[in-house]
Amino acid sequence: MNTSFRKFNFLSFFGLFLFSFFCVADVNAQQRSDSKATVQKFASLLQMINYYYVDSTNGAKLTEDAVIAMLKDLDPHSVYISKDEVQRANEPLQGNFEGVGIQFQIFRDTILVIAAVPGGPSDKLGIMAGDKIITINNEDAFGSKLTNSFVMERLRGAKGTKVKIEIFRRGTKGLIEYTIVRDKIPLNSIDATYMLTEDIGYIKLTRFARTSLSEVKESVTRLKSKGMKSLILDLRNNSGGFLDVAIDLSDEFLPSEKLIVYTQGLRSPRMDFKATSRGGFEKGKLIVMVNEGSASASEIVAGAIQDWDRGLVVGRRSFGKGLVQRPFELPDSSVVRLTTARYYTPSGRCIQKSYEEGIDDYYDDLTKRFEHGEFVSADSIRFPDSLKYYTPSRRVVYGGGGIMPDVFVPLDTTATSKYYTDILRKGLMNDFVIGYMEKNRDVLRSQYPDINTFRTGFTVDDKFLTEFTDFAATREVPTDQEGIEKSGSEIRHVLKGLIARNMFDVSAYFEVISPIDHELMRAVEVMHEDNLFRKLSIAM
């Protein structure tokens, strides 16, 4: 494949596609006539309503509602995005936004800084975790009026613009004033990168954004420098993103000329996407983790790795989204993301689940899977033989409803208690840790300068756990000894993980809680099963 295509501006491609689509349609006179009649019919109705309807109407809203209704009749993933929503919808996938660069939380009617984004404008000025923002541009920023929208509307803004804030910092007399010049703030798509063992690296990718490939490359390089020989790529609950990013990421693991995915639709000719010789981890054992929340781009990567026997897929059956959307801009700058093709894994599988029963039924599928017992037993899953495909090592794989893992890991409910559910639902562990960090941040930083010393040295002992359960009791979750015994290990690990996140970063949180992530621990066990990898002729 011409690799320069991958660098082609996809928005330009979409525009060319739209132009070509209408040129082709123009060839067929009957189609042209039908299309014209349909447009005239809709315009005539709007005109009748405008001139004759008994009450005043909003023509723009009527049109928008009609567009939304039309798309609902197509498929679950063709959607309309209003002009006002376009930027917000694209932001997580573009990899950045413009603002002051802090992670915050509303805590007791106050804006609490959880962390300043490294290298961002707030970080450069010395704003720190634990600071409380009291005013924004001379406006009080506390009390019952405080919401996430209130904060973002005032702190986000165009690059180069200024915002003045006053903060309260424990141990400092009076308020500290800062004038922050807004800038581009990166949105990382990797939540965690660390070494699980001496030779197994771990990367948790949460979305397929514009920056994802460079983030993964950087993570792989860093892990290799620490001795990584095998990699676990965690795509659990990764709902997808850009198709071309999924292709490029798959290329990191597959040798040259291997088909990664192909797309095809009624009016979209088949397009094959193949690997190049630029992969950064084409050798070494590889595991891709998926679950019912892994969709679209995640399934492209998992399917390519599985179909070429390059690695093992571990977890539970993925979501089952095999439709490709392309954005088309409408005259008012709103956007329609229209399904134009299906994608197929290298073996020819289309893993799109059925949506013939309607959108509500489509999204109820995960609830039905849970009720049928699929999350705890692979035996409840049935695939028809007509959807059976084979990998080069004669491994059987199936299409028609997600990627079925090679190693199934059931959902663990053994440590779940009502007590644990209640404290999670109310966010009490996070609230407790914020209060704890306000009092102990300086001492903790001096005792534990990095994640390694914290992970091995800090302990959530019985006294600490009791302090938390007493706190929870004051927040209407009475102490439940049976629940504490059942969920105690989880509570201790999560409390410690939240402290690590507050002291270091989100990666530290996942590193600390990894021992209670039984799905991840099962993946580590599988990684050590050399015979399984050899049996499937998988690269080691």
Torsion of CA 424, 430, 431, 434, to 10 degrees: 170
Q: Rounded to whole angstroms, how far apart are CA atoms 152 and 273?
A: 40
Q: Rounded to an integer, what is the distance from CA 311 to the centroid of its chain?
A: 22
- Sheet of 286-290: strands edge to edge? 190-195, 200-205, 230-234, 286-290, 312-315, 407-408
Look up residue 237 and give its DSSP letter: T
Is 123 among the catalytic positions?
no
CA 211-213-216 angle, to 5 degrees, is 105
Which one is catalytic: 321, 347, 487, 496?
321
Token digits of residue 69 = 């209704």
Give residue 122's identity as a one-letter amino acid code.
S
- The position carrying tokens 């915002």 is 163
Is 296 among the catalytic positions?
yes
CB neighbours of residue 323 within 10 Å:
19
Is 55 among the catalytic positions?
no
Strand partners, 47: none
Which H helix or E strand runs over 408? strand 407-408
CA 83-85-91 angle, to 5 degrees, is 120
Q: Rounded to whole angstroms, how far apart are CA atoms 235 and 251?
A: 16
Q: CB-based contacts of 454: which residues, under 8 Å, 6+ apart?
A: 444, 448, 499, 500, 503, 504, 508, 512
Q: Rounded to whole angstroms, how far apart are CA atoms 326 and 148?
A: 31
The closest of 451, 414, 429 to 495, measured between CA atoms, is 429
Which one is catalytic: 189, 212, 294, 296?
296
Token digits of residue 125 = 């000025």
Q: Rounded to whole angstroms, how far apart are CA atoms 112 and 352?
A: 43
Pairing label, strands 110-116, 132-136: antiparallel
Q: Rounded to whole angstroms, how far apart are CA atoms 224 and 150?
A: 43
The closest of 267, 374, 317, 205 to 18, measured between CA atoms, is 267
Say if residues 480 and 419 touch (Cβ distance below 8 Å): yes
Q: Rounded to whole angstroms, how far apart are CA atoms 383 and 401?
A: 9
Which one is catalytic: 234, 244, 251, 307?
307
The residues assigned a catalytic role are 296, 307, 321
